[in-house]
């Protein structure tokens, strides 16, 4: 895979470019982006080697679609129209069901691989791109059986080289589980930030009093609303279900506090401490 085109040279697309350039120095990385400023930054930072357009995709060995999920659903069929029979398109979006459905009957369905590398930061744009972002990170691959074997093999070898661990899942299961372990976290961070901002009108007090616990908890509230709103929209049913469960637990916790049931409060937190063992086992 010597000619690689990245559509969307932000955090994920840019970080993939940096890691691929390290592992495959012979490859040429082309950038496609609606923002000319992003393309110029990506060139200055040596994230990409050249600018390109959608019309150039017939030359691509690999196309990485790394744009907001609503835009990805619109653009993917057009991208597949452009690639050759020997080119592969992958997307890296945080929802998988809609993207798989939109091209399920496309004549070049075999030239597409749906995946979600579970990695990132709260920052965006080419300047947010960092090397080794994908080391020891899980990459969820969906409907791998629908992708031409030789094409998927070459791509998965490349992504393994840059540090990803592959896991295979159907799109429905992916979207349901990711709502709990990712999407809910972002909503919680945004709403915690909103609650504090509304109550603590003096921004200086927030700055002075906020400890590392608060900072780490609301870190995700710095994420891009332009990226996350379409994710919540596409995964609405699953996200609403997670919110119902979350609100139920919060209400139960509040009721224990109101009833002076601090033994219950203790046990709730103690039981949840088990998550440390789960997360330590993942690392």
Q: What is the pLDDT of residue 212?
A: 67
32 and 141 assigned to the same domain? yes
pLDDT tens-digit profile of 258-277? 999 999 999 999 988 877 66
149 and 92 assigned to the same domain? yes
DSSP 200: -
159 and 178 assigned to the same domain? no
Domain holding 262, by residue range, is: 174-282
21 and 138 assigned to the same domain? yes
180 and 104 assigned to the same domain? no
Per-residue CA distances from 230 to 67, 71, 173 (Å): 11, 9, 19
**Model confidence band, residue 140 (pLDDT cutoffs 50, 70, 90):** very high
pLDDT tens-digit profile of 142-197? 999 999 999 999 999 999 999 999 999 999 999 999 999 999 999 999 998 888 87
Which residues is 31 bridged to in the sheet? 6, 51
159 and 238 assigned to the same domain? no
pLDDT tens-digit profile of 43-101? 999 999 999 999 999 999 999 999 999 999 999 999 999 999 999 999 999 999 999 99
93 and 142 assigned to the same domain? yes
51 and 71 assigned to the same domain? yes
137 and 220 assigned to the same domain? no
From the number of C-beta atoms within 10 Å of its C-beta (0-12, 13-18, 19+), residue 180 rates as middle
Domain end residue (candidates: 146, 169, 192): 169
Which residues is 78 bridged to in the sheet? none
12 and 141 assigned to the same domain? yes
Domain end residue (candidates: 111, 143, 169): 169
DSSP letter for each residue of 65-104: E-S-HHHHHHHHHHHHHHS-TT-EEEE--S--HHHHHHTT
178 and 160 assigned to the same domain? no
**Model confidence band, residue 248 (pLDDT cutoffs 50, 70, 90):** very high
**Largest pairwise CA distance in the chain:** 68
pTM over 0.75: yes
Q: What is the pLDDT of residue 218?
A: 80
What ranges make up the beta strands (E) of the chain?
3-7, 28-32, 50-51, 62-65, 88-91, 112-117, 138-142, 165-169
The total number of structural domains in the chain stands at: 2
92 and 192 assigned to the same domain? no
**C-alpha closest to that of 159 among 130, 117, 190, 123:** 117
CATH of the domain at 81: 3.40.50.720
Which residues is 64 bridged to in the sheet? 6, 90
CATH of the domain at 267: 1.10.3660.10
Domain end residue (candidates: 130, 145, 169): 169
């Amino acid at each position: 895979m010597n000619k690689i085109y990245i559509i969307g040279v932000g955090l994920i697309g840019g970080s993939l470019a940096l890691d691929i350039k390290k592992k495959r120095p012979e490859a040429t990385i082309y950038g496609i982006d609606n923002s000319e400023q992003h393309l110029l930054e990506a060139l200055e930072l040596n994230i990409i080697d050249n600018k390109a357009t959608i019309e150039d995709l017939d030359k691509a060995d690999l196309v990485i679609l790394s744009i907001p999920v609503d835009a990805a659903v619109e653009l993917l069929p057009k991208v597949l129209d452009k690639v050759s029979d020997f080119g592969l398109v992958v997307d890296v979006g945080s929802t998988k069901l809609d993207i798989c459905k939109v091209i399920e009957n496309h004549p070049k369905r075999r030239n597409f691989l749906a995946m979600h590398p579970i990695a990132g930061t709260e920052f965006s744009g080419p300047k947010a791109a960092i090397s080794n972002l994908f080391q020891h990170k899980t990459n969820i691959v969906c409907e791998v059986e629908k992708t031409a074997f030789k094409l998927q093999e070459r791509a998965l070898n490349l992504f393994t080289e840059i540090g990803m661990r592959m896991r295979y899942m159907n799109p429905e299961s992916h979207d349901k589980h990711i709502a709990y372990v990712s999407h809910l976290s972002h909503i919680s961070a945004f709403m915690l930030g909103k609650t504090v901002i509304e109550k603590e009108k003096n921004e200086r007090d927030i700055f002075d009093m906020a400890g590392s616990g608060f900072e780490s908890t609301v870190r995700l509230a710095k994420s891009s609303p332009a990226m996350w709103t379409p994710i919540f929209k596409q995964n609405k049913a699953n996200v609403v279900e997670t919110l119902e469960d979350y609100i139920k637990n919060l209400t139960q916790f509040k009721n224990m506090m109101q009833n002076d049931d601090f033994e219950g409060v203790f046990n709730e937190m103690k039981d949840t401490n088990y998550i440390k063992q789960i997360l330590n086992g993942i690392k």
